[in-house]
Structure 1
């Protein structure tokens, strides 16, 4: 009877991915220390395992490539050859080829890769022969399998070969006697069951409270009966009833205590099962840093600490993209080139530190570099240019509020937009993922010339969260505890007007204050009227909340309780308002909205009199000039732009473009580089010399991909540099929209 090998595919893919990660990590370390015998043996074993398991699965292309890679590593292990730069490039190409084929296998796709040239090059390298064959690296997959966190694809290497050091401090977990692989779906079902138990625990707490209230009421009735009753029979009967109730309360209280302890233990154990180490994200970063630093010609040292720290897999799965974007930003325009660093009396080698640590019920992740730092004056200049604020409003901003602007969509202080970073479409997504999706926070620490650090705080799990139950206008709401700094009462006499808004002074810090019921537009019901009547007697209760290094005060009616509760997402049939991230069920089976603190803060900013204002969307169609000597390219770009509502004029070369730009003021210019009569660099330089085009967005779209050409684009004044080889219409449209501040409605 033939064995159906398809049922073993998932296990093969999972194992192969683990060994591919080990290969990437090991080869990055070997570039630093080629004589490390232990690492050589480790990568040899991984290549051997992939070869054997893929051969069992009849995946010939994978096993053949892994076999040739194993031959090279065997020759290195036996000291028959040494690892050169060219050999490392070939080895990494082989790892990428294997990874590409494994991902195709995971997606159920047929492997059609032709790795003949690559295998021949590996065979030659194993014999110590020099070869000029350079295998093309496989194209990255359009999407990663749903069961694994996104892993950054390796970037193409260039002829530049900087030194790259990778220092990692990873604690090896203790070995266990046996391991059992469990389906993620089974764990999820267990977590959901645990969530229901936690909800039941809250209800039991409410029932116990009600019984205690009943006992107190019975005692009061007994006192009344004792005063009026003519017969002791009724008093005796009522006394016996109260005694029985008291015993019942004691029994329920004991049961509730034991149940609570068991529930907490079950919760802790269940959540631990779904905890995975941050190494699942961190371990892919050294390879990415290596490849990107080679592409940009920079010398970079990445230091990784705390990769053994564990988080809920749901969080780790969503964390790869934000961390990747922050590191790419640091490499591209945070860290300076070696000569610039030397001129600034800094080490030629730049350093990125990626670290994680526990802090109470949270995990802190820092992404830090020792580069240029963020220039606050550039932030002000960009905010003015995008017409987000007036000059007076910008000067009145605090450093924290000013730095928060870089999280706005389309905001970038990069000198030029490239395919690596600076397009202004990343940090807003980073903030949304960290703050809204993962219920965490992110803040920035920067010093001009010294570097920048992004501090990320995340909960350990999203399954159960500590919530504060509050009321506003008589309605109960929940707020995640990690956003709450403190709750205090402040006399209204201490309120002051700051920029047409109410504020309080707390420990020498001015904090804006708003009534939560006004922000949420709650109905003015009787409960709210009663609360207003009490204002003359009781001081307003203010909850200080914070997100992205910003503090605000919310005036609430009452702080009801604080509990560990389950947040349930909205059903698809319910329209989301943005003010809530979900709901939770109280002990009395009431549905309670869990507030989206970021949305609340944004709502406070946009109230009348707020310093922060939304930039109005332009209503007119913008005029774009496209300059390219290729008729086909001009027409393609025109078609794309017109489909998004832009008005487009065409020019066939740089001189034609200059003449048309002098006759009509365009809102943006898109130009090629290599053109007759006048090239794109010269056109850009000429336009920048004109007062009318001093601040006009200019985008270079060219086939030139060298770093020198990009730097020349910066010098002549281009705002964006898009390489035609990686061109797609979304790239062009997003870049244009971010530069001109125009979004289609």
Structure 2
């Protein structure tokens, strides 16, 4: 019998990916807690399993890497080598290499014929003197941030597969048996209906005897009465049967639905564990000390939601490391412990899941947000001073908005938080809000539904139409006398438990024809919440609450921002699903401060950029990229050449390398900042130097962005340039 190699490869990649996750998680535990024979044995067994399975499929590259890792782990188990950061780095590099090779196998791509470089690094480590292994300290820059391929490779390997616990599958099969057996009762009901139809036919026949004499009608009348009584009895039984079956059917289908959804559920630990590795690598790169804490990793969500959450959490964690947690010496000066804390937790909450990301860093400066908003011409100074703390923090979710003094390959471009909010509110139908305290830290609270397959909806009526509202956005429902409505800044509002909540008619927000709803003595109000915002939505009536399948809007209606989808009611009525975040935004527009400005056409005209690099090839590449996006470009071959050009002309931005003859990029930037004309002109440093001290020096001399050439690509450069000059 021939083996199905393709099927075996698919199973192998999924299983090996799980072992890679286990190895990575346990290596990070060893690094944090120190030597543990039990954990080391577990890592050894996982590497051994990968090696054996890869050999069977003749995947030489994977089996060799796993074998070399196994040899290194054997040294640690036998006490011939000590556990150190160097060996942890090397083993993690082996895990990353296996992941990359697994992604190629999953994509049915050929593996390289030569062995991966990490094999030789592991071999070299094996032949080193044990004492040397104990004494050598790894270079600070050796820890690369690997979250991109950690996520992408794992996603490629497991995208079409979900592991199901056997007991869950058994429960589902058993439940399906009950549903099938329930069909027998339907057959019995069909038999009762046939009997009723037969009796009714007899009754109609008896009723047609109109020519009978009085003496003849008495027996017919008696028979007809008996038949009608039988029909009534059968109908009564049928009614009871239908009523009981409806209850049973509801229970069975609800149970079937719940267990079916559980099959696609995954624990948040699948995301949290990967972020642990990212924090570890970013900590090494930035020179900071960070303890990463996780709570609620067993909280389960729909796999579709977890797939979207991964990137969102990664963006926020990168920001927490880069902007939130201070350097050890700065924390000590501030009276804190040198080691910062980033805590990621999750718990079930009101029919959904709340995810909390907290850091005990410096917090977010509201003054810096105001300064940035004015500098980017999003708001005037008068307008920005009228914003509440919630409204100021919401500015962080705007595209291109960043308070960071410099853009790096880790964060600071202002694109991440915009993507986070769009994903959470639009794709996942959830909410996100920020809490911060100066010097104490920042907390992000994300609330998402457990699944997108079915949503619990509150059905309401307004302006003679039915609308659906997700129940996870409904805080409470109140009926209040119209006399309790107050007016705040020319808007209607209601005081609820010492809080002022703005009120809006649903029909007004949706621009529906006005009814007499506001003339009633009492108002029915749905209190909605999204993040820290609340809105009292006035509706005519509440119809019901139900679990419903939500479908996306047709492309022709996709521009209707206030609607997030549609569903079908019990009478085949098309019901619009309201987008709560968009409703809050629409309601808020009436109180937006005056003075919001927009860029004019003259400000959008072509910008002129000076590119400074001693490599002619690099200059030409950057020039080609910039010109393809409509920028005008001048070139300078070193710092002195750049000074000559900037003396004659004022550019909209300067992009410079660091290592150049005659005058380097740091000195050039410092020189430009002493020129009155160039004090506010953006300077972007693009260099191969990736050490934390080089990035800090870039900040000190006045650079606006710092891009490491290893993380450089066309999109990266253009996004950065658009962020600093528009």
Scaled by the length of structure 2, what TM-score is found? 0.83
In structure 2, how many angstroms separate the alpha carbons of the residues matched to 1:657 and 1:394? 38
Cα distance 1:246–1:659, how it changes in 2: closer, same or farther (>3 A)?
farther
User: Equivalent residue for 1:539?
Assistant: 522
Matched, 1:339 2:329: yes
In structure 2, how many angstroms separate the alpha carbons of the residues matched to 1:31 and 1:312? 32
Equivalent residues of 2:96, 2:150 under 8 A apart:
no
In structure 2, how many angstroms separate the alpha carbons of the residues matched to 1:34 and 1:349? 17
**Structure 1 residue 281: Cα displacement:** 0.9
What does residue range 255-404 of structure 1 map to in structure 2 within 5 Å? 255-404=245-394
Cα distance 1:87–1:244, how it changes in 2: closer, same or farther (>3 A)?
closer
User: Equivalent residue for 1:611?
Assistant: 593
In structure 1, how many angstroms separate the alpha carbons of the residues matched to 2:392 and 2:305? 29
Equivalent residues of 2:48, 2:70 under 8 A apart:
yes
Equivalent residue in structure 1 for 2:423, among 428, 433, 438: 433
In structure 1, how many angstroms separate the alpha carbons of the residues matched to 2:82 and 2:446? 42
Q: Deviations 1:186-216 (Å, cap 9, x if unpaired)?
A: 99xx9xx99xx9xxxxxxxxxxxxxxxxxxx
What does residue range 447-486 of structure 1 map to in structure 2 within 5 Å? 447-486=437-476
Q: Deviations 1:576-607 (Å, cap 9, x if unpaired)?
A: 53332221111111111112222222333445
In structure 2, how many angstroms separate the alpha carbons of the residues matched to 1:408 and 1:483? 22
Cα distance 1:582–1:12, how it changes in 2: closer, same or farther (>3 A)?
same
What does residue range 104-183 of structure 1 map to in structure 2 within 5 Å? 104-112=104-112, 114-115=114-115, 117-127=117-127, 129=129, 140=149, 143-144=152-153
Q: Deviations 1:420-470 (Å, cap 9, x if unpaired)?
A: 011111011111222221222222221111111111222222112111112
User: Equivalent residue for 2:187?
Assistant: none
Equivalent residues of 2:103, 2:156 under 8 A apart:
no
User: Equivalent residue for 1:738?
Assistant: 723
User: Equivalent residue for 1:555?
Assistant: 538
Cα distance 1:694–1:251, how it changes in 2: closer, same or farther (>3 A)?
farther
**Structure 1 residue 656: Cα displacement:** 4.6
User: Equivalent residue for 1:627?
Assistant: 611
- Aligned residue pairs total 661
In structure 2, how many angstroms separate the alpha carbons of the residues matched to 1:121 and 1:738? 41
Q: What SS does the corresponding residue of 1:642 show, helix, strand or coil? A: helix
Equivalent residue in structure 2 for 1:682, among 667, 672, 675: 667
Q: Could you tell which deviates more after superposition, 326-335 or 351-360?
A: 351-360
Equivalent residues of 2:493, 2:500 under 8 A apart:
yes
Q: Could you tell which deviates more after superposition, 662-671 or 286-295?
A: 662-671
In structure 2, how many angstroms separate the alpha carbons of the residues matched to 1:19 and 1:142? 15
**Structure 1 residue 689: Cα displacement:** 4.0
In structure 2, how many angstroms separate the alpha carbons of the residues matched to 1:55 and 1:416? 48
Q: Deviations 1:498-534 (Å, cap 9, x if unpaired)?
A: 4454434333333333333333233x2xxx4xx32x5
Equivalent residues of 2:290, 2:340 under 8 A apart:
yes
Q: Deviations 1:668-715 (Å, cap 9, x if unpaired)?
A: 332333345543333333443455544433222223222111101111
Structure showing greater radius of gyration is: 2
Q: Could you tell which deviates more after superposition, 58-67 or 270-279?
A: 270-279
Equivalent residue in structure 2 for 1:598, among 581, 596, 599: 581
In structure 2, how many angstroms separate the alpha carbons of the residues matched to 1:739 and 1:491? 52
In structure 1, how many angstroms separate the alpha carbons of the residues matched to 2:280 and 2:78? 27
Cα distance 1:341–1:446, how it changes in 2: closer, same or farther (>3 A)?
same
Cα distance 1:29–1:297, how it changes in 2: closer, same or farther (>3 A)?
same
User: Equivalent residue for 1:723?
Assistant: 708
Q: What SS does the corresponding residue of 2:149 show, helix, strand or coil? A: coil
Equivalent residues of 1:624, 1:669 under 8 A apart:
no
**Structure 1 residue 567: Cα displacement:** 0.9
In structure 2, how many angstroms separate the alpha carbons of the residues matched to 1:629 and 1:313? 47
Cα distance 1:501–1:621, how it changes in 2: closer, same or farther (>3 A)?
farther
User: Equivalent residue for 1:228?
Assistant: none
In structure 2, how many angstroms separate the alpha carbons of the residues matched to 1:242 and 1:390? 78
Q: What SS does the corresponding residue of 1:283 show, helix, strand or coil? A: helix
Equivalent residues of 1:624, 1:670 under 8 A apart:
no
Cα distance 1:691–1:450, how it changes in 2: closer, same or farther (>3 A)?
same
In structure 1, how many angstroms separate the alpha carbons of the residues matched to 2:499 and 2:388? 11
Equivalent residues of 1:501, 1:610 under 8 A apart:
no
Q: Could you tell which deviates more after superposition, 467-476 or 565-574?
A: 565-574
Cα distance 1:141–1:282, how it changes in 2: closer, same or farther (>3 A)?
closer
User: Equivalent residue for 1:61?
Assistant: 61
Q: Deviations 1:302-344 (Å, cap 9, x if unpaired)?
A: 1112212211222122221111111111111211111111111
In structure 2, how many angstroms separate the alpha carbons of the residues matched to 1:584 and 1:44? 52
**Structure 1 residue 410: Cα displacement:** 1.2
Cα distance 1:371–1:66, how it changes in 2: closer, same or farther (>3 A)?
same
Cα distance 1:537–1:604, how it changes in 2: closer, same or farther (>3 A)?
closer
Q: Which structure 1 segments of 5+ residues have no match?
A: 151-174, 198-232
User: Equivalent residue for 2:692?
Assistant: 707
Cα distance 1:652–1:126, how it changes in 2: closer, same or farther (>3 A)?
closer
Q: What SS does the corresponding residue of 1:722 show, helix, strand or coil? A: strand
Matched, 1:639 2:624: yes
Matched, 1:422 2:412: yes
Q: Deviations 1:39-59 (Å, cap 9, x if unpaired)?
A: 111001001000000011110
Q: What SS does the corresponding residue of 2:537 show, helix, strand or coil? A: strand
Q: Root-mean-square deviation (CA), in Å?
A: 3.4
In structure 2, how many angstroms separate the alpha carbons of the residues matched to 1:618 and 1:434? 32
Scaled by the length of structure 1, what TM-score is found? 0.81
